[in-house]
Amino acid sequence: MPGGKDGAFQPYTGTKTNLLFAQKKTKEEVELYEKEWRAYSNEFQKIKRAIDVIKKQKSKLKENEAKKILRRYLKHFLNQEDLPLSTPSLIKKYKDEIADVGRNPEWWILGEVARELDYPIFMANADEIGYKRTIRGEQKRPNQLFVSDEKNGVIIDTNSPKSILDYYKRGEAPKDNRDIFSINFSEIAKNLSLRLDVRLYRYLKFDLPELLSVFRATSYPPRNAINSIRNGKDIKRDFYANEETNFPYLTVNNIKMDKIVLDDVIYIVDVKGEELKKYKLEKGNVIITRSGTVGVCKVFNLDQDKIYIPSGYLIVLDIDDSTIRPKFLEYFLNSTLMRPYFDVFGTGKSQKNIAQTDIRNIPIPVLKISDQDKIIKELEPLLANIQDKEIEILKLKGKASNTFNKRITK
């Protein structure tokens, strides 16, 4: 990486590298792919037009025909519990997903093409590549990529494979190996972003099933309990006030796991604040950071003496608290169980971001409301005690600093 005096990194800064090997297809295979793509592209356009008519409640289709089109359009987003719902109920429940699919036709089309022309994709992750170079020099390390002889020649053994290259040349991955595995081409279309990276599929193939297996209850996505979901508002600096106003502007920096911090809050000028007050936060709203430190969650519980406007880097949920208690959701999303989820689904090179779709699809254990309330009641005093101890520690640090300064100064 660029280093030195003018570089962004120190010399020999460690980096992650992704390699993608593409296999050349024959002319016949390319023509077949293009033929399938055209066919499903035409089908998608027809279904999309039908969906638009159904949404406006102007369709002449029978109920079962309309639901069949919705199921075809939304694919795996629908589940068994949706079967009894009416078409208007499905439209209302999945309005965000319907919009997402409309904005991402490639996801729908590729999913159908991949199902027709499916094949395995080899994936591997190597933490050790034979050496480590630092500013102090080069160190020999194990090599997960390939085995070499005394003269550094590459040895390939497909009969008793040990390295990534051995398995790659053999054409198959070992069973239950988190670092060497394969997925099917059709699996790419399980997420709207059409991501193709080892980190995501290792989580989906190994980590997520392991997480779900330890839950005491079955899980479902929070979309079933979300009344509304929205991003906050982006505001230009020109509308920042130089003094305190009635419109605090909450950003990612104000949202912490233990509290909403108002020590360094931005205020919006009154004229702009009046314009944006329809987007204000209401008590009980669930705030989730969607950029930077992704996935920090806090229930909005501040007194309404001012009108708090969320920034564009915050996601705001209105939750049906008869299904999920907002405070339970906060504790769950901030738990160590969910950190890997946000690490994987937060994408971006310099700054991570997470999409609303990935928030709506978080697997949450289905606990009875009474059980959620018990957990909240048990955790609240513990967390309050932690805050008290932290305040006490800060006071003791200040006292220690003052004591030292008094002893060495006049």
Asked whether the beta carbons of 178 and 191 are under 8 A apart, the reply is no
Sequence-separated (6 or more) residues with CB below 8 Å from residue 76: 190
Contact 51, 115 (CB under 8 A): no
pLDDT of 9 reads 54
Q: How far is 187 from 173, CA to CA, in rounded Å?
A: 16
Instruction: Give pLDDT, residue 96.
Output: 86
Q: Where in the chain is the domain with CATH 3.90.220.20?
A: 219-370
Question: Would you state the pLDDT for residue 1?
Answer: 45
Question: What is the predicted pLDDT for the residue at 2?
Answer: 47
Helix and strand totals (H; E) in the chain? 13, 15
| Residue range 219-370 in CATH 2.60.120.10 | no
| Nearest one of 218, 209, 221 to 329, comparing CA atoms | 221
Residues 6+ apart with CB under 8 A from 137: none
Cα distance between residue 49 and residue 272, in whole Å: 39
81-104 burial, b at 16+ Cβ within 10 Å, e below that, comes to: ebeebebeebbebbebbbebbeee
The residues that bridge with 155 in the sheet, in sequence order, are 147
At 152 the pLDDT is 85
Is the distance from CB of 202 to CB of 208 less than 8 angstroms? no
Q: What is the mean pLDDT of each run of 10 residues along the chain (410 residues)?
A: 51 72 90 96 95 85 90 87 86 89 94 94 91 80 90 92 94 92 92 88 94 89 87 95 95 93 93 95 96 94 91 96 94 95 87 89 91 95 92 94 89
Alpha carbon distance 187, 114 (integer Å) = 8
Phi, psi of 130 (to 5 degrees): 100, -20
Tokens of 91: 């439209």
pLDDT of residue 310: 97
| pLDDT of 83 | 81
What was the pLDDT predicted at 306? 93
